[in-house]
Amino acid sequence: MTIDSSKKPLIEITDLVKKFGNFTALNGVSLDVYPGEVHALLGDNGAGKSTLIKILSGVHPATSGKIYVDSQEVKFTTPRQASDLGIGTVYQDLALNALTSVTRNFFLGRELKKGPGPFGIMQKKEMNEITVIEMAKIGIDISDPEQPVGTMSGGQRQTLAIARAIYFGAKILILDEPTSALGQKQQMEVLKTIKDVQKLGHIAIILITHNEIHARLISDRYTFLSLGEVIGRGMAEELGGDDIKRLMAGGAEIGDLRKELTN
């Protein structure tokens, strides 16, 4: 993908700092993501990726720095505020109930009801239809939306969580290690889902992953974090495999890491 300089980023982060007491988890991180872009956020454990996405998701407030969504500066202190502004985060645990249906998990507290308050009648037929349509938009055909989520593959569960976020207004989609703990076939299902979301054209995707191959398969740009700071960034076509390996390892040279193994 070529970034269209005439477009504005959907989300822009400038000089973000997060401190927990005397510990600085993020130190001046800047990042922007455009509609229709898959932007990989990469780095070793402890690099600051989780802290950054928790700030963007409204879990933690930033200590300083600015966040812009659609060119408007935003501040939020709860996940609901972030969600209302169009930031949808799909965490590794997915927040799905394996014993209830695909449809109930899709709506998850936002069920369609006819009638007043808690006494309203749930509109199951309409909810089932929406679930099937929205899942199909990003590549998964569900023959029975009443089936328990526990009968779905790991890849289908990821797709369900992604479709749910998009349907409820996510224009900035944060995917936290979406292929971890999945088999190879299911990993490819999830990568295809991400590409199908990208084809919609209006959603900015931030992909957090430890998998270099997956990042190279679907990402348009990369930002590398180490110890809370950006140590590199670039377009996919600008970075070779060795560059990515080095930056994912916190900037260490592959040769240096090999020496560590033999010492």
Taking only the tens place, the pLDDT of each residue in 189-203 is 999 999 999 999 999
Question: Percent of the chain scored above 90 by pLDDT?
Answer: 58
pLDDT tens digits, residue range 36-47?
999 999 988 889
Say which residue, 218 or 257, is predicted with more confidence.
Answer: 218
Q: Which residues have CB under 8 Å from 146's CB, separation 6+? A: 101, 102, 103, 128
Domain ranges of the chain: 11-95+169-262
pTM, 2 dp: 0.86
pLDDT digits (tens, 9 = 90+) for 89-145: 998 877 788 899 999 999 988 888 887 766 677 789 999 999 999 999 988 888 899
DSSP state of 76: -
Which CATH number does the domain 11-95+169-262 belong to among 3.40.50.300, 3.30.56.10, 3.40.50.2000, 3.40.50.970? 3.40.50.300
Buried b (16+ CB within 10 A) or exposed e, 162-181: bbbbbbbebbbbbbbbbbee
* Cα distance between the two ends of the chain: 42
Q: 198-214 burial by CB neighbour count: b if 16+ within 10 A, else e?
A: beeeebbbbbbbebeeb
